Amino acid sequence: MTKMNNIPDWEEKYRDEEAETMPWYYPDLDPDFKEALDRLEMISGDALDIGTGPGTQAIELAKRGFKVTGTDISFAAIEKAKDITINSDLNLSFMQDDILDSRLDRQFDIALDRGCSHVFPPEKIPNYVSALNGLIKPGGYLLLKCYSHLESEIIGPYCYRPEDIEYCYSSVFTVLSIKDTIYYGPLEHKPKALISVLKKRNET
Ligand SMILES: C[S@@+](CC[C@H](N)C(=O)[O-])C[C@H]1O[C@@H](n2cnc3c(N)ncnc32)[C@H](O)[C@@H]1O
């Protein structure tokens, strides 16, 4: 994993900036998530969007028929996401929560991580995997999108190789697929990314 060296202050960022200007902002369902859901033939279920930020992925998932909980460490992000969905009739809720010290007390059929855990220092990943073990039902899925080791232009998140994903997650998950992709968003240079589809083992 390559080192990250500029983690934003999330609260300050969401308080002071418009979500639409952020490099990860993508108003539609990320095509990699769409493809993964189609391949898994999943059209409904209880879903958790971890580090939901502007909430776009949570909203799009709810529009597809999922019951969605979006969580983020930033209170400001959660307030803004709540504001834009306040009058919707989607099966969707937002909650401030630190996934590394989560207050969530139930399990989900599927969790999405679009660029959340790739900001965690490597020593925190075992805590993250342990949190996921508690939050995802046996046989449930994790869709994980992170920066790839092939990305060399943007200094930011930790960059993963496929073998890093195997190493970090295989104690709890079976790795169904890991593919090269890009990080869709407003940046002209689309960062190189990995999309991983993981299935929680029944016996963990
Ligand atoms: C790169 S942004 C991605 C946002 C969103 N997933 C998207 O794709 O638009 C990473 C997000 O992770 C959130 N985050 C960082 N650390 C977190 C933590 N410990 N628990 C929950 N969310 C966290 C940040 O506030 C930020 O919104």
- 38 belongs to a structural domain: yes
- 2 belongs to a structural domain: no
Give the residues surrounding ligand 1 with Cβ less than 6 Å away. 10, 24, 51-54, 56-57, 72-74, 77, 98-100, 114-116, 119
pLDDT digits (tens, 9 = 90+) for 14-41: 999 999 999 999 999 999 999 999 999 9
Q: Nearest to residue 75, comparing CAs of 92, 57, 47, 98? A: 98
Average pLDDT taken over every residue of the chain: 94
- 5 belongs to a structural domain: no
Helix, strand, coil percentages in the chain from 3-state DSSP, rounded to 5: 35, 30, 40
Q: Rounded to the nearest 5°, which phi and psi values hold at 72?
A: -155, 150
Task: Please list the alpha-helical segments (H only) found in the chain.
Answer: 10-16, 31-40, 56-63, 75-85, 125-135, 162-169
pLDDT at 2: 57
- 1 belongs to a structural domain: no
**160 alpha carbon, distance to own chain's centre:** 15
| Model pTM score | 0.96
pLDDT exceeds cutoff 90 at 154 = no
Domain residue limits at 17: 10-200
Q: Rounded to the nearest 5°, which phi and psi values hold at 20?
A: -65, -20
CA 167 – ligand 1 centroid, Å: 22
pLDDT bracket for residue 151 (50, 70, 90) = confident
**DSSP letters for 26-81:** -SSPPHHHHHHHHHHT---EEEEEET-TT-HHHHHHHHTTEEEEEEES-HHHHHHH
**Pocket perturbation via mutation, ligand 1, pick of 49, 73, 80 by most ligand atoms within 8 A of CB:** 73
User: Count of domains in the chain?
Assistant: 1
pLDDT at 3: 54
**Pocket perturbation via mutation, ligand 1, pick of 11, 17, 50, 72 by most ligand atoms within 8 A of CB:** 72
CA 47 – ligand 1 centroid, Å: 16
pLDDT exceeds cutoff 70 at 1 = no
- 90 belongs to a structural domain: yes
pLDDT exceeds cutoff 80 at 201 = yes
Judge residue 95's burial from the number of C-beta atoms within 10 Å of its C-beta, 0-12 exposed, 13-18 middle, 19 or more buried: middle
CA 56 – ligand 1 centroid, Å: 12
- 107 belongs to a structural domain: yes
Read off the CATH number of the domain in which 81 is found: 3.40.50.150
Atom 13, ligand 1: residue with shortest CA distance:
51
Determine the Cα–Cα distance for residues 62 and 56; give it in Å rounded to an integer.
10
Residue 175: strand pairing partners: 198
- 91 belongs to a structural domain: yes
pLDDT digits (tens, 9 = 90+) for 108-132: 999 999 999 999 999 999 999 999 9
Contact between 179 and 146 (Cβ < 8 Å)? no
